[in-house]
Chain A
C-alpha cells in the first residue's frame, strides 16, 4: 500500500487554496447520514460513499456531508437528513445507492425534494 505522500498533500493545498470556503455554517446544502449501529448495519456507509462521489465528481464547494447517530427510527435505516439553507430539513428513509443518487440530482442540485423517498418534511432534527 502506498504511503500518503506529503507532496500530494501540498499539491492539493495549492490547487484548492482560495477556493475552499467550507467551514460549518457556510454551506448551501448539508447532508447528515445517520450512522448508529442500526444505520451502519443497514448500509449507511455506502450511502455516504455515494454522496462523497457525487460531491467529488461535480466539484461542489457548497455541499457538506456529515454523520450523526441513531435517530430512533431504526427500521427506516439507512436514513439521511438534507438541510437546504432557509428551507425545512427533509429526512429520507430506507435508502439505497440509486435512491441516493436521484435525491442528489433532484434535491441537492435542483432544489426539488424527492417526496416519495421522504419520511416527512418540516419537523426534523438531525440529532
Chain B
C-alpha cells in the first residue's frame, strides 16, 4: 500500500464485508505528541477471541477465495515501522474497532494520500452502508456524515455523480487532488521530477 488512505479503504472493506451498517473513521493528528492516529469503528458482526488473536496473522482469513488475508497485517506493519502499533478490539455482535498509531514525523510514516478518493470509493461500493468521517489532518478540520446527506437527499441515491462530486469538494476544499499532508506534496514533486 502506497499511502494511509489506501490502508483505510482496505480495512473499511473488511467492516462492510462483516455486515456493518455504520462505519466511523477518524484521523487525529497530534503534533504536540508527534502522533497520528487512525481509528475505524464498525457495527459489523465482530470477531470471536480466536479470530481476534489471529487478526494480525497473514495466514488467518475468513475468505474462501484465497488462503491469506493481508489487510490488518499490512496496516500493523505500517504502524510498527514508525514505532507505533495497531490495536484491534472486537467481540461477536459488538462490532470491531481498530486503532493504528503512528509517530507522525517518522521517516517511514506513509503519507496520508487521497482521503477524498477513499471515501468516494467506499460510498460507491457500499451504497447501503453509512459512513462517518472526521479528520484534523494537516491542521484542517473536516467531517462527513452520510446519514445527514441521505436525510437531505430523500429518494435521490447518494451515489448520484453530482452528489459524489460535492462530497469530494467538501473533503478537498474544491481543489482537484488537493492534499491534506505535506508528505503527499513532497512525494508528488518527486514523481514529477522523476
Residues in A lying within 8 Å of B, measured CB to CB: 1-6, 8-10, 12-13, 15-17, 20, 22-23, 33, 35-38, 40-41, 45, 48-49, 52, 55-56, 64-72, 74, 127
Contact = CB atoms under 8 A, between A and B. Distances in A.
B93 interface: no
Given A1-B142, A22-B157, A52-B161, A40 B6 contact: yes
Nearest to B161: A56
| Shortest 6 CB-CB contacts between residues of A and residues of B | A67-B125, A72-B65, A4-B170, A56-B161, A1-B142, A9-B152
Nearest to B141: A1
Given A37-B71, A40-B6, A45 B118 contact: yes
Contact of A55 (B17, B125, B161, B163): B161
Contacts of B143: 3
A91 B57 CA distance: 31
Interface in B141-194: 141-144, 149, 152-154, 156-157, 159-167, 169-174
User: How extensive is the interface on chain B, given as a class?
Assistant: 35 or more
Nearest to A10: B152
Contact of A45 (B17, B121, B173): B121
B59 to A, nearest CB: 14
Interface of B: 1, 6, 9-10, 13, 17, 63, 65-66, 69-71, 74, 114, 117-118, 120-121, 124-127, 140-144, 149, 152-154, 156-157, 159-167, 169-174
A73 B125 CA distance: 20
Contacts of B66: 70, 72, 74
Contacts of A72: 65-66
Contacts of B164: 52, 56
A12 B162 CA distance: 7
A20 B157 contact: yes
A12 B166 contact: yes
Contacts of A16: 156, 160, 162
Secondary structure at the B interface, as helix, strand, loop or mixed, is: helix
Given A9-B163, A15-B162, A3 B170 contact: yes
Nearest to A127: B65
5 contacts: A2-B169, A40-B13, A45-B9, A67-B124, A67-B125
Nearest to B7: A40
A101 B124 CA distance: 19
B121 A35 contact: yes
A70 B149 contact: no
B170 A48 contact: no
Contact of A70 (B9, B65, B165): B65
A71 B17 CA distance: 14
Given A15-B162, A70-B63, A23 B149 contact: no
Nearest to B1: A41
A69 B13 contact: yes
